[in-house]
Amino acid sequence: MTAAILVAMPQELEVIPGISEKDPKERVAGIDIYELEPGLYACAGGVGKVNAAMAAEILCLRYAVDLIVSAGVAGCTRDSMALGSIMVASEFVQHDVDTSAVGDPPGLVSTVNRIVFPAYEPERCLSAAQRLDSQSRLGRIATGDWFVQNGDRLWEVFGRFTPLALDMEAGAVAQVCYRNGVRVTAIKSVSDHVFKDEQLEEYANYSRALAALGTVLIPFTKEIMGSAHKSERKGQTT
């Protein structure tokens, strides 16, 4: 079982214990790939869907990973979740894909002709997260190339897709993984509440969210790797 942690920003990568002491295994297309231990890699692909998709494809094809964990900080639609709380993906959508002018439903991704992209065993991933942070919650992640702010556009996205989290990468990673037959999950730490007037002030101080992410990211990833490996072995013997 090989896996990779894929984040957007260097600050998110730096929460991984000991990574600052490591040299990249290699640089591909401007992306530094780190080997945390045999079979476990990590990289910061850059902000936005294209950057995320590039990094995910490199991990799928060059490193032949079995699992990608899309990780980082993200906006939350539930004011009841504290800053730094952990959100686990139940599934993924891309809220900014819209070819409705030619009759498609909003969010339909052409070529694969899907709106919703699956996450790897959501309940199992939630259980793993809750053992590390009992306040972790499961929900849909909606992705788009837009830093979300309150207003008509946000209410339209929320009404259409009812996400728990909004980010700029996970949905693109899920699309790449779907096409490559690679498992994908996402673990996001609440950096801001998108419906609050104080959203930008919260995001400007997302160090709390980063610290929370750093506490759970490696244990979460290793537990999911282990459970996926056990499932593979069980499948081979039945």
Burial 211-225 (b: 16+ CB within 10 A, else e): ebbebbbbebbebbb
Q: 168 near 47, Cβ under 8 Å?
A: yes
Q: 228 near 66, Cβ under 8 Å?
A: yes
- In the set 12, 167, 202, 223, the catalytic residue is 12
Closest CA to 56 of 78, 33, 76: 33
Q: 86 near 188, Cβ under 8 Å?
A: yes
Q: Is 96 annotated in the active site?
A: no
Residue with structure tokens 């490193």? 63
Cα–Cα–Cα angle for 79, 163, 111, rounded to 5 degrees: 160
Q: Is 35 annotated in the active site?
A: no
Q: Is residue 156 within a helix (H) or strand (E), and if so which, with residue range?
A: helix 152-161
- In the set 133, 167, 192, 202, the catalytic residue is 192
Q: Name the burial class of residue 12, with classes exposed (0-12), middle (13-18) and buried (19+) by CB atoms within 10 angstroms of its CB.
A: buried
Q: List residues with catalytic annotation.
A: 12, 192
